[in-house]
Chain A
Amino acid sequence: MNRKVVIVFILTLIALGFLTFYSFGPSSITRIGPQINPESLKPVKADATDLNNLSFGVYHNKDIAENFYAVRVPQSWQIQSTMSHPGGYDFVYNRGTATIELMDVPDNSTLELFVLSQEEPRLKSLLPDYKRIDYQKIKVNGYDAYQLSILSDANCIRNESIKTYIMGSDRTAVITYSLPQDMVASLQNTFNLVTNSFHWENI
């Protein structure tokens, strides 16, 4: 047999072995897929304050190419950097949490169809005593968005979650506020400010 062919065959086997190790080996998680950009975790101080005199910081997220965005968040909200995921944030405040994440909507679906046919059933099966309070189509800085407000039970407390799905050119941004139902009214203005501050930076 041709020696060069044998060499190519052996090199191919070595390359495939290396590829398998690189793709599924112990440290593959940190190499493949989106990574957290340290710059994304550093807020820039914003000038504006809200009705409650809260000062804000602007987070510029640059974790996932084609999906850069900026969002203004009260500085009193504590970022949970250990729980951070590429393209997203987890915050805690008073007795509630806020999550910002990027979600991939399949190309063969629309955002509204995805929210109603996949997201809502998933939440319904996940959360005890699920009840939809409101669902509406809104605009966030000119982007189409869908807002789903739901009630559920968590540790014997009636919790309200407000999820806003903001359409992007590649992925969808999801902003979720979860807190006891009786606190929603007092923080509604802050939530509106945070949600309406969201904008894509590469569109």
Chain B
Amino acid sequence: MRQIFLFISLAVLGFGLYLRLFYDVPDSQEKINFFVSWFLMIIALSSLLINLFWDTKKKRMDGE
């Protein structure tokens, strides 16, 4: 389950980076591209962090 969550987060991050750096944005749509790309990157990064912290806690609890 954790791997699937991690994979989806990385895929979303990659898509956000693609929109930000490589996608040929049509005229007058810079604003929506800016918003969507950063939205995806923020969501993906926070998902990765949440995944990381949840994992840490689980390990600690297992140790106890």
Taking Cβ atoms with an 8 Å cutoff, the residues of A that contact B are: 2, 4-5, 8-9, 11-12, 15-16, 19-20, 23-24, 28, 32-34, 103-104, 106-107, 170
Q: Is the interface of B mostly helix, strand, loop or mixed?
A: helix
B interface, size bucket: 10 to 19
Contact with A along B22-44 (1 / 0, CB 8 A): 00101100110011001100110
Given A5-B53, A28-B31, A32-B31: A19 and B39 within 8 A (CB)?
yes
Q: List B contacts of A103 (CB < 8 A).
A: 27
A and B contact pairs by CB, cutoff 8 A, 29 listed: A5-B50, A8-B46, A8-B49, A9-B50, A11-B46, A12-B42, A12-B43, A12-B46, A15-B42, A16-B39, A16-B42, A19-B35, A19-B38, A19-B39, A20-B35, A23-B34, A23-B38, A24-B31, A28-B31, A32-B30, A32-B31, A32-B34, A33-B30, A33-B31, A34-B30, A103-B27, A104-B27, A106-B26, A107-B24
Bound state CA distance, A32 and B26, in angstroms?
A: 14
Bound state CA distance, A19 and B33, in angstroms?
A: 12
Q: List A contacts of B50 (CB < 8 A).
A: 5, 8-9
Q: Among the listed A24, A33, A170, which residue makes an inter-chain contact with B35, where contact means beta carbons less than 8 Å apart? A: A24
CB distance from B53 to the nearest CB of A (A): 4
Q: Is the interface of A mostly helix, strand, loop or mixed?
A: helix
CB distance from A44 to the nearest CB of B (A): 28
Taking Cβ atoms with an 8 Å cutoff, the residues of B that contact A are: 24, 26-27, 30-31, 34-35, 38-39, 42-43, 46, 49-50, 53-54, 56-57
| CB atoms of A23 and B35 under 8 A apart | yes
Q: List A contacts of B31 (CB < 8 A).
A: 23-24, 28, 32-33
Bound state CA distance, A57 and B19, in angstroms?
A: 39
Bound state CA distance, A32 and B37, in angstroms?
A: 13
Q: List A contacts of B49 (CB < 8 A).
A: 8
Bound state CA distance, A20 and B32, in angstroms?
A: 10
Bound state CA distance, A170 and B58, in angstroms?
A: 50
Bound state CA distance, A127 and B44, in angstroms?
A: 48
Bound state CA distance, A107 and B22, in angstroms?
A: 13
> Taking each of B24, B27, B57, which has the highest tally of chain A beta carbons within 10 Å of its own beta carbon?
B27
